[in-house]
A and B are shown apart, each in its own frame.
Chain A
């Protein structure tokens, strides 16, 4: 199944504690390291699903044998209200989320260029389950200019539990780790969409997930993810954007560098949602 996600980081509002700029985002979202990651102009076949990430209004996608990820990311205060809104929109039960993400970088000498790999451990299951994820570079060039989004590749593989030991043995070194705690909704609305709302937490001691604290207190990240392929990614992007508009009472999308400000009526909208449990039509 392909997934696409639209990631958005709003411009900092100095007066508002609920917004932080992309520069302060407590995630390792960073520009690609290598020229070889540039896949602009690549001929993308129908068999190749994509990953799309967006920063602000940027989508990152790449041609890999993995689903797309359009990540929509917003740091907001009104989590409970958002949950009520999502419950109403999605019509499905929320699922709890607790993911330990360990980022490893290649040690000295290994590889002609440095590489980075992420290990994810799903702690919500009765038996922790692991996967390995590689996030590649952003698409550049004329194709990238034409879309109002950045595009990046991503590949994920489920693994048995020895992944960390294996990568350490191969010469990868620990770089950083974080714990995402929150919830997600998975539903169909023009595309198979997953919305995740989670706090980003850091561990005070190595791998001590029981002692994690929020990177920024009171801030949550929203990710909107939907599957896509090279054939249908524009339709998926449209479906996702349409869905994201329903979230507009509480948060909305913009390009990085273009200030959107706080949604002026967010507090009022949140209050309305909280008071009548989602019965309000926004």
Chain B
């Protein structure tokens, strides 16, 4: 039972252990990361760990070791002390006070933004922005103002009212990149507040110096954090509607966005795509401004990457563009977007499925040749798949896609849709609570009947609807509280089912042999003919 640990203390092994345990630091680093990952898991497993009892820093230096660690002089100033320092005539003191303010505003919990505002510090800080003779105070005040502007609209307003916008725009040209970066950030916060301040920032002339910051031969030569901040601020300048940003401003920014769209940083790409999604969220002439830059193929390329942070905004942008004209939609199709949709329509994130189905609905609302491209890319089964088992929001969009398809498609296209099995899942959704969706479905059914009538396949369609339990559902809708639903369902019953019901009792339906059937679409054995 007893195993002896044969004296591990060989002198060599021992010396090896003197200091640092002879272990490679990179190896240790790797391990630490792994452990941390595990810790996070453990954390999630056990809520008990969340008990929060800290902020219990000991009140006095009980250990002689403690004295060495308080090198942060400006750590805990009160607002009064800051005011005194800022109002003194001593530059050094002003700097320290500003830094103290910045630290207060940067702490995670309850930064005293309002206290700082009420103390009247903003005009002082804004004046410090212009102190080119003392770049540290420019930096500290820029940071402090950034954080004040990051708050509520009211807090942002205080910064703007203090005259910060032109001061920050001047700082964009600072020779110190950390200062110009901080100015970029601050302007982003101000512009991000809403259309009004966005346009004010634009009016003060922020765009040109901002774009100048990126006027380098190779974007990779810029620090990634810097580039990300500039991109984010540019995206805020494109953001918000009512009104949308001035069209001239957009035309000024767009070439840079196109350039950023070819950069290789994940975050830069994501924010650029978001900017484009904002710009395309508008009328057709707004879309036109974007599309004519020729960025759609690159956008489609990004749509096909597997990075969710990039896929989401690029899908949004593509979806916006296809709300435009048929020509604008055609550009998206010609850029190969449809080949990405099989994976988007079956994406593991419901949100992506929904947006993809929404995009499809706008394409199927297009020309018949555009619908045919949808068919040719094999996307109909994916739409039906969503109807069958997507989440409800995605189902609603898929319903729209189907209804638009049936309303604009050729008879052959509708036949194909039916053969692909749309009827049953579509009718199943009639039990949805949402009457708008029910109406849209009834519309689709009506469209399909119109097609069936043209090829004398009404009876078969009726049979299909009956067999999948759809008739019962339509009948039930006749007592729906919504008048439109009630009317639409009654019309359907009246038009296609009432007469037949009488016949049904007496006459066996005729065989299908002689008729022109939908089967010409192909001999798919598992689908119904009419």
Partners in one complex: no
